[in-house]
């Protein structure tokens, strides 16, 4: 009797047996799970394929579009999501920042390169129209006069291509010129003078675009008062005819001094001077 009682205590209970059986592999359940996972993956793949070729709302012919779509942001969906995740802040500072950012976005769009303008005017007159409209000045070859727009924004330049107008100098001082706008200054074969003095939006990326805009005769470049650092000077080796480069201070840091020395070594005819030696004479 004692032995029988011990054997009964050693036998597993029904609950333990059920729990153990649940941990054993079940071919039927695994097959069902695999089929479900496979079906879900196929549905996701089909949905992705359909969404990939779906025309965005607003781009379909039957959709209504506002005339203000010209100033819309292509990333408006993501911007809206980010905006909804932020707490509402209608403080004067936030509203002012939003307004300035919006104005900058519009101005960047307005300064984009327009191929039709260059086809009608040619690169010389197109660049002159672009700069004069924004308050700059332009000088043409064999013409001592500096052309500027009047207080009403009017100026006397041809409105179609004229071979006698060869752009020799451009003054863009104190303008609000963005990276997108620099693309309008291209293929100026006779340009010898370019001043970007005191344009706070000009940085190293903008200088790289200037150096690659095909100015084979550019001799004088003024980049004082900008946000260009010593990193941007390296790209100026492309301007093989450059003779005078005006910086805020070529010795403002060891890195700037080294970059200037390397650039002068690459262009033996180049002389780099500080802005105070030039603008103090004006």
pLDDT of residue 98: 85
Decide if 221 contacts 244 (C-beta within 8 A).
Answer: yes
Give the three-state DSSP class for 235. Answer: helix
Residue 3 has pLDDT above 50, yes or no: no
Give the three-state DSSP class for 66. Answer: coil
Q: Which two tokens stand for residue 268?
A: 């033996």
pLDDT confidence tier of residue 91, bands split at 50, 70 and 90: confident
pLDDT of residue 10: 47
When mean pLDDT is compared over 22-26, 68-72, 150-154, the highest value belongs to: 150-154
User: Phi-psi bin for 187: left (phi > 0), alpha (psi -120 to 50), beta?
Assistant: left
Decide if 250 contacts 256 (C-beta within 8 A).
Answer: yes
Q: Pick the range with the lowest mean pLDDT from 19-23, 193-197, 210-214, 264-268.
A: 19-23
Q: In what order do the strands lie in the sheet with 167-171?
A: 146-148, 137-140, 167-171, 193-195, 220-222, 244-247, 271-274
| CATH 1.20.120.420, applies to 109-279 | no
Q: Where are the domains of the chain?
A: 75-108, 109-279
Q: Any bridge partners for residue 169, and if so which?
A: 139, 193
Give the three-state DSSP class for 190. Answer: coil
pLDDT of residue 201: 94
Residues 6 or more apart from 40 whose CB is under 8 A from it?
none
């Amino acid at each position: 009797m004692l032995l029988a009682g011990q054997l009964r205590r050693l036998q597993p209970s029904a609950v333990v047996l059920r729990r153990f059986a649940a941990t054993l592999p079940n071919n039927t359940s695994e097959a069902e799970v695999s089929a479900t996972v496979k079906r879900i993956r196929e549905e996701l793949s089909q949905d992705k394929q359909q969404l990939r070729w779906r025309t965005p709302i607003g781009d379909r012919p039957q959709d209504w579009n506002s005339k203000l779509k010209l100033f819309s942001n292509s990333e408006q969906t993501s911007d809206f999501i980010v905006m909804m995740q932020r707490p509402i802040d209608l403080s004067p500072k936030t509203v002012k920042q939003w307004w300035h950012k919006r104005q900058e976005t519009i101005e960047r769009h307005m300064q984009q390169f327009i191929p039709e303008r260059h086809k009608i005017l040619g690169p010389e007159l197109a660049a002159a129209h672009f700069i004069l409209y924004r308050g700059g000045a332009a000088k043409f070859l064999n013409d001592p006069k500096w052309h500027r727009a009047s207080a009403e924004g009017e100026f006397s330049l041809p409105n179609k291509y004229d071979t006698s107008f060869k752009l020799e100098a451009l003054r863009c001082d104190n303008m609000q010129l963005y990276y997108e706008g620099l693309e309008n200054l291209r293929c100026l074969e006779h340009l010898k003078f370019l001043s970007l003095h005191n344009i706070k939006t000009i940085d190293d990326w903008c200088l790289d675009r200037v150096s690659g805009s095909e100015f084979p005769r550019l001799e004088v470049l003024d980049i004082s008062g900008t946000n260009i650092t010593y990193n941007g000077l390296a790209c100026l080796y492309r301007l093989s005819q450059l003779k005078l480069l005006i910086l805020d201070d070529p010795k403002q840091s060891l890195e700037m001094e080294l970059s200037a020395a390397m650039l002068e070594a690459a262009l033996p005819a180049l002389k780099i001077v500080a802005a105070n030696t030039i603008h103090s004479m004006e």
